[in-house]
Structures are given as structure tokens and as C-alpha cells.
Structure 1
Amino acid sequence: MAITDEVQRLTSPVRRWAKVQKHEYSPDEDRPLGGLLGAMGTYLTLTAAGAAAVRASGRELPTRIPLGDAVLLTAATFRIARTIAKDPVTSPLRAPFTSFQGQSGEAEIAEGIREHGGVKHAIGELVTCPFCLAQWVATALVFGYATVPKATRLAALTMTMVAVADVGQFAYDSLQQQAMSGGDDD
């Protein structure tokens, strides 16, 4: 039996279950429950593979991350997830799953899901949602921290600096707008 036949045999009951759940869960809207199950399975598989790779390398996952590193990784998670989900520069990565809808804020764009239902819909939801991406990014940063802590800290520092710079840009723009509108009131 070919591998694809075996995969089909094993996944068929899950697909049937997902179709039943989809009909009962959202009869009036095409929700990609099967695709979302696939995304969860992919996340779990990658996480288990990452943990196994760390173990196989003779390293241990950290039992504790110092507060400073945790804050650094958290800020980097925020910035990386937002960059992947909303930045115009990363739109080519999202394009197969989304369609451009316009500007959604300073230096961010809004995109809609291109296909409704199925795997492409689930991926479209994932890549346009910084909240959803944060889990994946945080997991990757933790594995990076466990295996190459100096490089991971450097990458996290870079993205944390970008996040702080973003706050500075917004603050500057706000002050500039206030100064411009303040002069018109006199």
C-alpha cells in the first residue's frame, strides 16, 4: 500500500467527523474546521518534533527562563506575529490565501480570506491573525532559545527594538498631529 493511500485511510474518519461537526457547528457559514484541525495537528507535530530534536541533540528544554529574556521574547513574539500578519512587506507570503482590502492602520494592511472552507481558508485565517500567529512564533522562539540562545536573544532584541521604535513613531505622529491641530484652534 502506498504511503498516500495509508494517510488517506487514517485521515478519512477525521475528515468525516470534521464534516459532521462543521454542519452542526456552523450550518450557515463555511467554517474550515477540517483545515483548522490540520493546523492544530501541524502545530502539535512540529512542537513534538522540535522537542525530540532538542532531546536528540543532548540539550534540555529550559526549566526556567530569566525574566529579562522572557520579556525580550514576549515583545519579539508580538512584533514578529504582527509583521507576518499585517505588514505590507510580508503580503507576498499571505497572497496565496488572502486578498487585499486596503489599509488598516499606519503601515498595516487589511486582507480578506481568499477561499472559504478548507485548508486554504484555515491558513488564511492563521496568517492574517497576529493573535493566532503569536503561539507559533513564541514556540519557535522558545525552541531557538533552547538550542541557540545567543542568536535567539539577538533576533528577539532586534524585533523588540522594532516594536519600541513603532511606539516612538506613533507617539511622534500623535504629537505632530496635536501640534498641527492646536495651532488652528486659536
Structure 2
Amino acid sequence: MTDTVASDYDARERVPLAGYATVAGVFCASLTAFTLVVRRRGVTLPERVPPWDLLLLGAATYKTSRLLTKDKITSFLRAPFTRREEDTTAGEVMDEPRGSGLRLAVGDLLACPFCAGAWTAGGLMATYAVAPRAARLVCAGFGAMTLADWLQYAWTWTQEKAEG
């Protein structure tokens, strides 16, 4: 991306368009490589994804994207690209992207659960395509974590309401 395009897009020149293009290119290249390997190995892809599997994949995508972007324990993965802004509830943190160019673009990805969701869904779907039973087991584990999170929040809410 030229500097002119970036400055025309964002007057503060804070949007790393070239970095975003690189990150998107890596995602597309990974998807293409996966498709070629699967095709070369003759893997038969599922004709459809049953609703139950879709729910499992959705719950697992939700949890894995939050683990990657918000969990204290995965801070070491984000640290080169983000800076801790604050600790929030339930052991989660709020990180802000730092740097410029590609570093900032990766920081944006690692600080945003919605952005990371496409990547985690891609990984889970790739696993589902080549090893559905294993993917279901992994997704069930992450789905159980998601359910446990919601039950923790429900318990906390109930406790707060009971205490007034």
C-alpha cells in the first residue's frame, strides 16, 4: 500500500493497511495450502456440517478466540504485539496493539476476539474436514469451557442479586 492510500484512508495514518494485507494474505495462503494438501491426499470432505457440529464449532471458536486474545495465560503470545492496558473480570485482560505496520496489524488481530475468530474457526474447520471425530472431541472440550464460563457468570449474577 502506498503512503498516499493509507493517509487518504485514515488522516491519522494509524491504520496499517499493508500489514492488514499481509495478514489477510497469510490467511488466504494457509487456506489455499490446506485445500491443495487435502485434495492431493484424496481426503473426502463432509458434504454438510450437521447442526450439532456447527454448535460445537461455534462454541469452540468463541472460546479459542477469547483464550487467544483475552486470557492472562496467553499473554506471552500477544506480548510482542500488544501492551497490557488493564485486567478485567474473570481472569481476562484488555490489551492494546502497539508498534506500526505488520506489528500493529498482528497486534490488532491478537487483541480482538472477533478478528481472531476467523483464524480459530479456520483451524477448527480444517481439523473437522480431515479428522471429524478428533475435531468434535476438541470442540466439545472448548464447548464445555464456554458452558462453564456462562455458568460462572450466572452464579455470580445470582449471588449478586441475592446479596442485594
TM-score (norm 1): 0.85
Contact preservation (8 Å) 1:51, 1:61: no
Identity across the alignment (%): 34
Q: Flag the structure with larger Rg.
A: 1
Question: What does residue 146 of structure 1 align with?
Answer: 129
Question: What does residue 41 of structure 1 align with?
Answer: 25
CA deviations over 1:79-100 (Å, ceiling 9, x no partner): 1101101011111100000111
Once the two structures are TM-superposed, the CA of residue 160 in structure 1 deviates from its matched residue by 0.2
1:28 to 7, 12, 29: 12
Contact preservation (8 Å) 1:19, 1:34: no
2:107 to 124, 127, 130: 124
Question: What does residue 167 of structure 1 align with?
Answer: 150
Deviation larger for 163-172 or 136-145 = 136-145
Question: What does residue 79 of structure 1 align with?
Answer: 63
Contact preservation (8 Å) 1:141, 1:152: yes
TM-score (norm 2): 0.95
The one-letter amino acid of 1:120's match is: R
Give 3-state SS (helix, strand or coil) of 1:105's partner.
Answer: coil
- The count of aligned residue pairs is 164
For structure 1, list consecutive stretches of 5 or more residues without a partner in the other structure.
Answer: 1-16, 182-186
- Give the alignment's Cα RMSD to 1 decimal: 1.1
